[in-house]
């Protein structure tokens, strides 16, 4: 059974104030540039106009998933308003909500495409048409707007739609016994339940998760009901490898029987997030065991060092175990974001720091690489090697990633702290102040740190009165040596489930200091990963590094790092908004030895050169050029 006696809950981002050197600039950029840029793109692309439901035959058709781009923007903007009131942004949000609400049908149904373009085809293509997926993002937007503003303006619209869906779907006679091809509504319904305390939403989420993968497979039955003809949208979602099996949508078998991550990576992360939620809500160890098995398979055989997941463009997802190519790595930004969501849930369900380690890896590398430092251009795909052709774009035909990343950044505070009946936990080291409730009392934790560039963290406690509880500080998986002190006195670093636990009576003003050894180090991969045999990556703290042509010139793949050369670290405040640069020695072939030759009967000579590595998240923010994470290592 799940351990509910020592359960920790995330501290809401509204009770966290971040003033961190690393994250403050990203938060400001998100607020001042990214959120407005996404709105402008929604306007230019016709997404906002489509909400008026005035499409006419012969005009470009709205896409089936356009609703979700708009509602994710509402979610990001609403959460931004919660911390940073902005009259102009609030006006835009209200106007967009009015447009959405105006399209709700009398029975509660709300979807651009199947109201304006194909009104007679509701729920006929659950496999591909994204109706329930769009509903899920609408539900999340309704919860976000209510939590941020206290207004039920969008929440009431959402609840009416959710009530309608609960009537349409289920196992009773006359109901549709199906589920969405793209999981999302499942986790959204749990959020809606927690917001409204309406149990029917939680039960509907459980129904969708339990129904997935049962035989006969619903998507086969759905196609048979159409007379065997392909769904209208199947041409759009039928890239090679995507639709050949039900693995793509994780509907190949019941979720409790799934032990290996398969299919579309974003769909998998959203499904697993819902499974973790339901395992907690229903105290269901069978769902949690499935989550743990899937997590082990993912992290042991399918996850990139950057926290990127999904190696193949063909299915936007997983392939064979250890198949982790670099230049063709897909690693959709949304997939790393989904990995953050899932691991956040697993962390609180288990109390194990290993889930926070993966969350942190994805956050500092594979997720924030998805947006430029300007905040106005984005990666959909995040490869670990580029020959100079891969660049961020201002928008995409399928633009799920920009608003998804924006909503992650607006709620960053919720990932930092956790609270329990007599426990306070620090999960991420971000300079901030968190207001926690422990032992029925308010406890303020004030973090001071220059993480991720330095390993020193100071936590000062502000208490109304002395209180006995356990303060838990995550010992990151990358950290080999740590020292802890309380009020200047060293303490034993007792570690439980990856957390340093300090259980004592705390007084106002007590100061805990954590000194984590943060050194640049070489990282090697399981030799089963063919793409990286004989190669090495560089990591320092949670940050993965790469070589970029802007620093090292062309021919990155010809370089070989010296295995014993020091990895020298120096912070450069003027580079890429301030980064720690790692310099070391490498060997480069002398091109002159190969002039006019394709083959030779002896090795060519090499010259020693100094190379510079920058954080992976910051690449492609200067002049175009090649990039490389996994670098050859000289023998």
- 300 phi and psi angles, rounded to 5 deg: -95, -20
Beta strands in 281-341 (DSSP E): none
CA gap 556, 595 in Å, rounded: 19
- Active-site residue (options: 316, 360, 419, 513): 316
**Residue written as tokens 């986790």?**
187
Kindly report the CA angle at 164 between 159 and 169, in degrees rounded to 5?
Answer: 125
* Residues written for the chain: 635
Please indicate whether residue 316 is annotated as part of the active site: yes
Q: Which residues contact 494 (CB under 8 A, 6 or more apart)?
A: 500, 501, 502
Q: What six digits make up the tokens of 162?
A: 């959710």
Rounded CA separation 230/125 (Å): 10
State yes or no: cis peptide before 452, omega within 30 of 0. yes
Cα(137)–Cα(159) distance, integer angstroms = 13
Q: Which residue has the tokens 């003809």?
A: 229
Of 42, 400, 401, 546, which residue is the catalytic one? 400
Burial of residue 412 (number of CB atoms within 10 Å: 0-12, 13-18, 19+): buried
400 is catalytic: yes
Whether the CB-CB separation of 154 and 96 falls below 8 Å is answered with: no
Residue with the two structure tokens 């998100």: 30
Phi, psi of 495 (to 5 degrees): -115, 130
With b meaning 16 or more CB within 10 Å and e meaning fewer, what string describes 70-95? bbbbbbbbbbbbbbeeeeebbebbee
Compute the radius of gyration of the chain from its Cα atoms.
Answer: 25
Please name which of 393, 402, 527, 516 lies closest in space to residue 450, comparing C-alpha atoms.
516
Who contacts 600 (Cβ-Cβ below 8 Å, separation ≥6)? 593, 594
* Cα within 13 Å of Cα(188), Cβ side: 28
> Measured between alpha carbons, how far is 575 from 618 in angstroms, rounded to an integer?
10
Four-point Cα dihedral 502, 481, 299, 311, nearest 10: 130
* Contact of 584 with 521, CB cutoff 8 Å: no
Q: Which residues pair with 540 in a beta bridge?
A: 520, 543
Distance CA(180)–CA(131), nearest Å, equals 8
Catalytic residues, which ones?
316, 400
């Amino acid at each position: 059974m799940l351990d509910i006696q020592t359960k920790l809950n995330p501290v809401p981002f509204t009770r966290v104030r971040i003033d961190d050197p690393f994250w403050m600039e990203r938060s400001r950029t998100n607020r001042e540039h990214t959120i407005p840029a996404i709105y402008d793109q929604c306007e230019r692309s016709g997404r906002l106009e489509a909400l008026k439901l005035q499409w006419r035959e012969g005009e470009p058709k709205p896409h089936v998933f356009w609703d979700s781009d708009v509602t994710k923007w509402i979610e990001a903007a609403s959460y931004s308003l919660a911390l940073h009131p902005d009259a102009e942004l609030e006006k835009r949000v209200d106007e967009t909500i009015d447009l959405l609400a105006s399209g709700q049908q009398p029975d509660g149904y709300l979807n651009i495409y199947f109201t304006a373009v194909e009104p007679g085809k509701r729920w006929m293509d659950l496999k591909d048409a994204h109706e329930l997926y769009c509903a899920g993002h609408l539900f999340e937007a309704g919860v976000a707007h209510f939590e941020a503003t206290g207004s039920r303006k969008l929440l009431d619209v959402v609840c009416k739609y959710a009530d309608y869906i609960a009537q349409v779907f289920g196992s009773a006679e006359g109901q549709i016994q199906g589920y969405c091809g793209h999981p999302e509504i499942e986790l959204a319904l749990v959020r809606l339940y927690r917001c409204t305390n309406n149990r029917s939403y939680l039960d509907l989420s459980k129904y969708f998760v339990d129904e997935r993968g049962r035989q006969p497979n619903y998507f086969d039955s759905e196609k048979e009901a159409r007379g065997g003809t392909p769904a209208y949208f199947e041409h759009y979602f039928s890239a090679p490898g995507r639709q050949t099996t039900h693995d793509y949508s994780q509907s190949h078998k019941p979720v409790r029987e799934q032990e290996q991550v398969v299919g579309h990576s974003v769909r998998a992360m959203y499904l697993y997030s819902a499974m973790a939620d339901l395992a907690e809500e229903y105290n269901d160890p069978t769902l949690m065991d499935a989550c743990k098995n899937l997590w082990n398979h993912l992290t042991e055989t399918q996850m990139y060092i950057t926290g990127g997941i999904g190696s193949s463009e063909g299915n936007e997802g997983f392939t064979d175990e250890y198949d982790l190519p670099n230049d063709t790595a897909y690693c959709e930004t949304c997939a790393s974001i989904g990995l953050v969501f899932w691991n956040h849930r697993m962390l609180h369900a288990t109390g194990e720091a290993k889930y926070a380690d993966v969350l942190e890896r994805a956050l500092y590398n594979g997720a924030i690489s998805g947006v430029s430092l300007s905040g106005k251009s984005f990666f959909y795909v995040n490869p670990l090697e580029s020959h100079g052709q891969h660049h961020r774009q201002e928008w995409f035909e399928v633009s799920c990633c920009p608003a998804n990343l924006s909503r992650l950044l607006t709620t960053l505070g919720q990932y930092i702290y956790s609270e329990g009946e007599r426990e306070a936990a620090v999960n991420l080291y971000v300079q901030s102040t968190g207001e926690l409730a422990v032992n029925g009392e308010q406890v303020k934790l004030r973090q001071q740190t220059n993480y991720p560039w330095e390993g020193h963290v100071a936590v000062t406690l502000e208490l109304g009165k002395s209180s006995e509880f356990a303060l838990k500080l995550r010992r990151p998986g990358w950290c080999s040596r740590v020292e802890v002190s309380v009020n200047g006195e060293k303490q034993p670093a007792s570690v439980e489930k990856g957390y340093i636990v300090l259980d004592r009576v705390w007084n106002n003003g007590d100061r805990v200091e954590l000194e984590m050894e943060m050194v640049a180090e070489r990282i090697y991969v399981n030799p089963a990963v063919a793409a990286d045999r004989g190669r090495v990556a560089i990591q320092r703290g949670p940050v993965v590094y790469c070589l970029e042509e802007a620093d090292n010139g062309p021919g990155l793949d010809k370089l070989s790092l010296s295995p014993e050369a020091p990895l020298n670290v120096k912070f450069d405040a003027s580079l890429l908004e301030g980064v720690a640069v790692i310099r070391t020695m490498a060997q480069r072939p002398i091109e002159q030895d190969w002039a006019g030759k394709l083959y030779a009967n002896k090795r060519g000579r090499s010259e020693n050169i100094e190379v510079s590595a920058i954080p992976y998240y910051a690449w492609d923010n200067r002049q175009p050029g090649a990039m490389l994470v996994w670098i050859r290592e000289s023998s």
